């Protein structure tokens, strides 16, 4: 405890300040640490229970064979196939658009221009639109408007709808919009870290803006683009609400081969088995196995993204 007085000619009356010894701060430390512990615990319980329930089920056979007996036996191959096909289509759509948007935002405009701000607001809001609203939109826009439009224009004499029905392409495009912000943000992050000197060197050599972007900026940003694509896949592979009405099917005896085929998907498969199974006890092992497969898939993708990203940050940090 320190006691001290002013020696002063200041008019203000002087009192002695006696500082009190400080508490050690165990309470804020302890409470916040408790939050961390709880999160880790919950995570462990979720992972543990799913691995516990699913590990015995997942085998090569499980991964490579179709469901049988109303999903009470067999595997999940069509759902895996559908999921992979879905996210591949999605990535093909979302990556070029996302990357070009990021390039536009970082290289072509000043962050304060009104247009840029508008686009920024749009990107942020797109990221916040509930996924079920994307589902509604996919149904109203892609299936009814685009697909229906195609049908009236080109297939007016066919029996049923050709494009104006749930299909893997519509589901993939819906997901592409949903994951667009992921790709944009990740690419932008990469673009921001490219040293200005590199671009200036290219300009100084007489490169045009387009050449500079194509030859210097995009190659440099490749890890960021890759990360964005993987994060988008991981996100897309787990979303169910947007594809429920735009293309996913309960059960299909065949694999999707055309863009306007329906498809089975892991997340949707889980939802259907968990909520509509006539005998949940019989479905349970397969259900846990499917969840484990989906979880492993998303985690594997995420880990790859995290590793690339941290490598990228590190190499940048070393370089500067």
Residue placing its CB nearer to other proteins in the complex, 181 or 228: 181
Residue placing its CB nearer to other proteins in the complex, 25 or 257: 25
Residue placing its CB nearer to other proteins in the complex, 70 or 285: 285
Cα(90)–Cα(269) distance, rounded to whole angstroms? Answer: 19
Residue placing its CB nearer to other proteins in the complex, 111 or 253: 111
Residue placing its CB nearer to other proteins in the complex, 59 or 208: 208
DSSP 248: B
Structure tokens at 296: 């492993």
CB-CB contact of 221 with 187 (8 Å): yes
Structure tokens at 220: 């440099």
Query: Cβ 27 to other proteins, closest distance in Å?
Result: 9
Residue placing its CB nearer to other proteins in the complex, 4 or 257: 4
Which residue carries 């408007």 as its tokens?
145
Angle at 233 between CA 230 and CA 234, to 5 degrees: 90
Query: Cβ 158 to other proteins, closest distance in Å?
Result: 19
Cα(213)–Cα(217) distance, rounded to whole angstroms? Answer: 5
Residue placing its CB nearer to other proteins in the complex, 119 or 150: 119
Query: Cβ 208 to other proteins, closest distance in Å?
Result: 5
Structure tokens at 86: 């879905």
Query: Cβ 258 to other proteins, closest distance in Å?
Result: 23
CB-CB contact of 183 with 236 (8 Å): no
Q: Which long-range contacts (CB under 8 A, 24 or more apart) does 34-43 make?
A: none
Query: Cβ 50 to other proteins, closest distance in Å?
Result: 7
Residue placing its CB nearer to other proteins in the complex, 112 or 257: 112
Query: Cβ 65 to other proteins, closest distance in Å?
Result: 22
The residues, any chain, with a CB within 8 Å of residue 107's CB and separated by 6 or more, are 191, 209, 213, 217
Query: Cβ 221 to other proteins, closest distance in Å?
Result: 14
Query: Cβ 315 to other proteins, closest distance in Å?
Result: 18
Query: Cβ 219 to other proteins, closest distance in Å?
Result: 17
Which residue carries 């009190």 as its tokens?
20
Residue placing its CB nearer to other proteins in the complex, 257 or 320: 320
Q: CB count, 10 Å around CB of 129?
A: 14
The residues, any chain, with a CB within 8 Å of residue 301's CB and separated by 6 or more, are 230, 231, 233, 234, 237
Q: Cα–chain-centroid distance for residue 285?
A: 28
CB-CB contact of 190 with 223 (8 Å): yes
Cα(180)–Cα(173) distance, rounded to whole angstroms? Answer: 10
Query: Could you tell me how many residues make up the chain?
Result: 320
């Amino acid at each position: 405890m320190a006691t001290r007085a002013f020696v002063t000619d200041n008019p203000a009356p002087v009192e002695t300040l006696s500082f009190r010894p400080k508490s050690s701060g165990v309470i804020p430390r302890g409470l916040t640490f408790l939050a961390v512990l709880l999160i880790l615990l919950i995570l462990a319980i979720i992972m543990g229970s799913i691995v516990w329930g699913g590990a015995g089920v997942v085998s090569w056979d499980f991964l490579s064979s179709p469901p049988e007996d109303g999903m009470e036996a067999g595997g999940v191959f069509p759902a895996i196939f559908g999921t992979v096909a879905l996210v591949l289509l999605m990535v093909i759509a979302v990556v070029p658009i996302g990357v070009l948007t990021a390039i536009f935002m970082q290289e072509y405009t000043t962050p304060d221009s009104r247009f840029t701000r508008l686009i920024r607001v749009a990107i942020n809001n797109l990221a916040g639109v509930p996924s079920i609203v994307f589902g509604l939109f996919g149904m109203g826009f892609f299936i009814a408007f685009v697909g229906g439009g195609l049908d009236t224009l080109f297939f007016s004499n066919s029996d049923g709808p050709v494009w104006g029905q749930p299909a893997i392409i519509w589901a993939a495009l819906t997901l592409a919009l949903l994951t667009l912000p992921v790709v944009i943000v990740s690419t932008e992050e990469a673009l921001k870290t490219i040293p200005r000197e590199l671009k200036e060197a290219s300009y100084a050599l007489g490169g045009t803006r387009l050449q500079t972007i194509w030859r210097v900026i995009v190659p440099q940003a490749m890890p960021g683009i890759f990360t964005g694509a993987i994060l988008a896949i991981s996100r897309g592979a787990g979303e169910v609400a947007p594809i429920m009405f735009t293309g996913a099917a309960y059960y299909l005896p065949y694999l999707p081969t055309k863009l306007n085929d329906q498809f089975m998907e892991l997340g949707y498969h889980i939802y259907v088995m968990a909520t509509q199974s006539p005998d949940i006890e019989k479905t349970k092992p397969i259900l846990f196995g499917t969840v484990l497969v989906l979880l492993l898939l998303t985690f594997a993708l995420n880990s790859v993204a995290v590793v690339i990203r941290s490598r990228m940050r590190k190499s940048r940090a070393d370089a500067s």
